[in-house]
Amino acid sequence: MRVINIAITSMLALLLIASVAHSSSGSGDVALSYIFLDEEGNQSVNQSTFNDYEGAALSFENLRYRFTNGMNLRADFRNITLNNRNLKASLRRVGLFGVSLFHNKYRRLYDFEGGRFTKRHRTGGSIWVFPHRYVKLFGGGSFVDKSGSMTELFDATAPGTGLTTDYTQKHYNGGVQFNHMGRMLRAEIRASNYADDLNSSRDQDRLSFMATAAGPLPKYEEVSVFGGFRRFTAEYNASGSKITSNKGWGGATVALPENFALKYALVFDRSGSESDLVKTDNVSHALYASHVWPGLAQVTAGYIKDYNDDLSDEVQVSSYYFSGRVKPISELELRGEYGARSEEVKGGRRLIGDEDRQKYKFSVKYRCPRDATIAVKVDARIRENEQLGSKSEFVRPTVDLSGDFWRFASFIGGYSYARGIYTNVDGGFEFRDHTIYADIVSRECHNFTAGFGGTYYRSKRDLDVEKSWLRFSLGYRFLEDYHVELEYNVHNFDDFVYTSQFDEYYTANIVEIKIIKDLSF
Amino acid sequence: MTASKALCFWAMILLPTVLLALSVTASTPVSYSKDKLLETTELCLDCHDDMAESLDGSVHRVTSESSSSAISIGCIGCHDGWEVHVEDPTVDNITTGFGLSAAMQAEVCGRCHVTAHQVAMVSTDPHGNAGVACLECHTVHFNSNEKLVANDREVFCLSCHGGIATEFKRRSAHPLESGNIRCVDCHDLSGMQNPIFATGLDWTCQDCHSELSGPFLYEHPVVNAHLVEGGGCVECHQPHGSPNDRLLNQAGDGVCIQCHGIPPKHRVVHGGIGGQHTCVNCHSDIHGSFDNRMFLDPDLAFDCYCHFLSK
């Protein structure tokens, strides 16, 4: 709690600094609202409402404050008075310094009445400063606290049993970056600590050091090289059990004549356990070649070779990658990507044996007049494992629409169909998901605004789930910089597979009345 | 260690050292003097007077009320061909961002900005390989967002990744839509190791879920599968959102029987327990165990013959 208090106090201090300093301009909203929540059914099934609370909420949204000396203050404090608060603030002067802070909390419900839940607090901040034009010092830290109780996995038939969890994680980082005319050197240390309040034998510390560098080769500016090294350790405090990873990477990009380019990258990683002297090596080589027709098209082809070598077996992987994009006219863009990957066990044996993967994506995007956009996309993944007799296939066509379709409203919406088929060693599983979403917001007319939106999700085949969320809003502006908003949300969830004893249905009606004052300094 | 791997290892140690030396000793690329920037910027603003305001408050600002020191790049730092354009002002003889290819945009930005993010994008990042250019995510003019991101909504990434957006609307999902996490909390856009090259210990998930990270005395190999792609958490979970509870790829025992058959004894003992109950009812420490190699619930009694052997 101390960390949270410090964070909130710091954020308020940033605001105070803003208020006493000589200002240039600023804007934002302050909103006071009340949320009425009426819910019925199994509270653990509808994730969209896990973090809705009844009560009064105070928010400062989209605050932006610019000082005459170039300093910028931003703040976004949502639902300060409720348990789902989400606070962010930053103060920065471009090219000189910056500080940012955040704090939020959220929960996940696990039982019918909502009495069993876990909650997570995240609080942190970062700071950077340029002591010299070419030198940047940076650092930060965060604090995560998770506690509560949850049901065991797949525990619908035994709702009484549960697990408790209570742990904290602290992360710190700091480093320095040198930049000079297209060259960069960066060094960073990260440390983290995990403390389990229920089982101290699981407490552990992690430490990593990373150095990276990049820049063009002297006298060969068309060749840019990059590389880096990272050492990572994780150690249990009680047992001293320790794992270590040393990773190095490097490569080059070469700009060739006639808009051709080559890229090469190498990654070497050795991960090991110091307690049992087991080590795993990973080596990757990647080579990409591309050609660009400026403003019209681009094609890229790549080959990646990976080696995975541990105590008992060695796996070699070959991957191929192709991508292309073309803009025959300025309003139309077509993209495509294809990747294939083949894993082969060269030495020893592993449970899953050889494995093949493929993935592809295609998209067509058309930008209509008046900034409306329509995009049609298809992406798919296939994984096949002959030795296990298992296979998984996904395909997902998507249509996205956005823009100002009418003079009085803006629109965003889409439809997605996702099909997944798993062929397992013992049976199979298939799902077919349909997702439709849309949001229409009117322009202000006679001081009134209105909005309508919704999401409908349906999962079929081996699952039978229906989930919907409808939103209606109405706003009225008065006294120039005040407006009142009324928002009505309806949530529904039903899993038709479950029997009545452990029924998984949920419905909620949420009404929010909000009075907003536009701030302008 | 084979000779080739030893070579790779030492190359990885030496490469940053060499790069460091190069970055210190490298000759400075041609740059404009402060006076030249001031002079040419004034010339540009004679015709494009609204452009000064469009850069106000950003690192690229070309005017300052207090002093000329604010001008660090000027118009000609980004727009090439200005010498001809001044004499013959047409749109064809001066470069503008959207008229440049991804590589050319990267070159222009790279004249000043060489950050880990930028190097990642132009090396082997999937965005770079797919031809996604700087200006598809960043806008230089008329933009006061941090890092000049074109739109500072938390879910800006989803404006291109519409299919991923719908995954967050599924039955179980990470809390992105409620604003509790951001895309970049998991996706490191500054990782010069291409995400598909996430070799070795990948702590993306474990940064938040340390209780499941191990190392355990008895590891479930898939959790820490040190594979270049695949392996690890995503073998069983769909991180964005899933039609199943707890982000699982498949319902019930599906994720288990993707690799493991149900052992024959499980089908007959305890009234066919293997068919009636889910695997993790008993194998509850499925991410890893300090107690037994079968990941059984430590609270279960182990005095029966079969389970004693298992331990």
Q: Is B143 a member of any domain?
A: yes
Question: Are B280 and A153 inside 8 Å of each other by CB?
Answer: yes
CB neighbours of A421 closer than 8 A, spacing ≥ 6?
Answer: A391, A392, A393, A428, A429, A430
Domain that holds residue B121: 34-148
Could you count the other beta carbons within 10 Å of the beta carbon of residue A316? 16
CB neighbours of A440 closer than 8 A, spacing ≥ 6?
Answer: A409, A410, A411, A451, A452, A453
Of A92, A308, A418, the CB nearest to B226: A308
**Residue carrying the six token digits 């509790």:** B180
Q: Name every chain A residue with its beta carbon within 8 A of the beta carbon of B19.
A: 185, 213-215, 225-227
Instruction: Count the domains in chain B.
Output: 1
Of B116, B131, B177, the CB nearest to A298: B131
CB A284 within 8 A of CB A305: yes
Q: What is the pLDDT of residue A216?
A: 86
Percent share of chain A, pLDDT over 90 = 47
pLDDT tens, residue by residue, B65-89:
554 445 667 888 888 888 888 888 8
Among residues A54, A117, A83, A33, which one has the least CA distance to residue A508? A54
Q: Name every chain A residue with its beta carbon within 8 A of the beta carbon of B135.
A: none
Cβ–Cβ contact A204 with B under 8 A? yes
Question: Are B27 and A219 inside 8 Å of each other by CB?
Answer: yes
Could you count the other beta carbons within 10 Å of the beta carbon of residue A371? 10
Question: Are B129 and A290 inside 8 Å of each other by CB?
Answer: yes
Average pLDDT over residues A414-424: 93
CB neighbours of A64 closer than 8 A, spacing ≥ 6?
Answer: A26, A27, A28, A72, A73, A74, B144
The residue ranges of DSSP E strands in A368-481, in sequence order, are 373-385, 390-406, 409-424, 427-442, 448-461, 465-478
pLDDT tens, residue by residue, A94-135:
778 999 999 999 999 988 888 889 999 999 999 999 998 889
CB A315 within 8 A of CB A343: yes
Query: In angstroms, rounded to a whole number, what is the distance separating the alpha carbons of residues B3 and B15?
Result: 18
Q: Name every chain A residue with its beta carbon within 8 A of the beta carbon of B11.
A: 248, 250, 266, 268
CB neighbours of A198 closer than 8 A, spacing ≥ 6?
Answer: A164, A165, A166, A167
Distance (Å) of CA B96 to CA A154, A228, B113, B211: 57, 33, 18, 50
Query: In angstroms, rounded to a whole number, what is the distance separating the alpha carbons of residues A174 and A189?
Result: 6
CB A484 within 8 A of CB A517: no
CB neighbours of A311 closer than 8 A, spacing ≥ 6?
Answer: A278, A279, A280
The number of helices, as runs of H, and strands, as runs of E, in chain B is 14, 4
ipTM of the prediction: 0.86
Alpha-carbon distance A49 to nearest alpha carbon in chain B (angstroms): 9
Q: What is the pLDDT of residue A142?
A: 93
Alpha-carbon distance A511 to nearest alpha carbon in chain B (angstroms): 17
- The residue count of chain B comes to 311
Question: Are A269 and B200 inside 8 Å of each other by CB?
Answer: yes
Tokens of A19: 């208020």
pLDDT tens, residue by residue, A9-63:
666 555 555 555 545 678 899 999 999 999 998 888 898 899 999 999 999 998 9
Shortest CA distance from B31: residue in chain A? A181
**Residue carrying the six token digits 């930060």:** A140
* B57, amino acid identity: G
Query: In angstroms, rounded to a whole number, what is the distance separating the alpha carbons of residues A50 and B173?
Result: 12
Could you count the other beta carbons within 10 Å of the beta carbon of residue B252? 17
CB neighbours of A352 closer than 8 A, spacing ≥ 6?
Answer: A385, A387, A388, B259
Hey, of B56, B59, B72, B226, which one would you mutate to test binding to chain A, going by the most A CBs within 10 A of its CB? Answer: B226
pLDDT tens, residue by residue, A360-397:
999 999 988 777 889 999 999 999 988 888 899 999 99
The region of weakest confidence among A156-170, A314-328, A469-483 is A156-170
Query: In angstroms, rounded to a whole number, what is the distance separating the alpha carbons of residues B189 and B262?
Result: 41
Decide if pLDDT at A518 tops 60.
yes
Question: Are A424 and B257 inside 8 Å of each other by CB?
Answer: yes
Query: In angstroms, rounded to a whole number, what is the distance separating the alpha carbons of residues A238 and A361?
Result: 48
Q: What is the pLDDT of residue A10?
A: 60
Q: Is B281 a member of any domain?
A: no
CB neighbours of B203 closer than 8 A, spacing ≥ 6?
Answer: A206, A232, B213
Q: What is the pLDDT of residue B196?
A: 46
Among residues A247, A135, A131, which one has the least CA distance to residue A184? A135
Cβ–Cβ contact A233 with B under 8 A? no
Q: Is B198 a member of any domain?
A: no
Walking along chain B (311 residues) 10 residues at a time, the average pLDDT comes out as: 56 56 44 77 86 79 59 81 85 80 81 80 80 87 83 78 88 87 82 51 74 78 64 84 90 86 78 72 84 79 53 43
Tokens of A435: 């997702």
CB B185 within 8 A of CB B205: no
Q: Is B94 a member of any domain?
A: yes
* DSSP alpha helix (H) spans, chain B: 3-25, 34-47, 50-54, 82-87, 102-110, 116-122, 126-129, 162-167, 183-186, 254-257, 264-268, 273-276, 279-282, 305-310
Question: Are A215 and B104 inside 8 Å of each other by CB?
Answer: no
Q: Is B60 a member of any domain?
A: yes
Among residues A279, A223, A287, which one has the least CA distance to residue A247? A279
Question: Are A457 and B129 inside 8 Å of each other by CB?
Answer: no
Of A196, A300, A467, the CB nearest to B211: A196
Q: Is B276 a member of any domain?
A: no
Q: Is B95 a member of any domain?
A: yes
Q: What is the pLDDT of residue B231?
A: 65
Cβ–Cβ contact A465 with B under 8 A? yes
Radius of gyration, alpha carbons of chain A: 27
Could you count the other beta carbons within 10 Å of the beta carbon of residue B116? 22
> Judging by beta carbons within 10 Å of its beta carbon (0-12, 13-18, 19+), is residue B247 exposed, middle or buried?
buried
Q: Is B58 a member of any domain?
A: yes
Among residues A42, A48, A183, which one has the least CA distance to residue A455? A48
> What values do phi and psi take at B138, rounded to 5?
-115, 145
Per-residue pLDDT band for A186 (boundaries 50, 70, 90) equals: very high
Average pLDDT over residues A202-207: 89
If DSSP codes are grouped into helix, strand and coil, which group holds residue A303? strand
Q: What is the pLDDT of residue B311?
A: 43
Alpha-carbon distance A440 to nearest alpha carbon in chain B (angstroms): 16
Q: Name every chain A residue with its beta carbon within 8 A of the beta carbon of B114.
A: 179, 182-184, 214-215
Per-residue pLDDT band for A245 (boundaries 50, 70, 90) equals: confident
Alpha-carbon distance B123 to nearest alpha carbon in chain A (angstroms): 6
Q: What is the pLDDT of residue A440?
A: 92
Question: Are B200 and A280 inside 8 Å of each other by CB?
Answer: yes
Shortest CA distance from B297: residue in chain A? A152
Q: What is the pLDDT of residue A282?
A: 85
**Residue carrying the six token digits 């010092």:** A137
Alpha-carbon distance B81 to nearest alpha carbon in chain A (angstroms): 17
Tokens of B8: 């790779």
- A-B C-beta contacts closer than 8 Å: 358
Question: Are B5 and A281 inside 8 Å of each other by CB?
Answer: yes
Helix (H) or strand (E) holding A7: helix A2-20
SS3 labels along B270-301: HHCHHHHCCHHHHCCCCCEECCCCCCCCCCCC
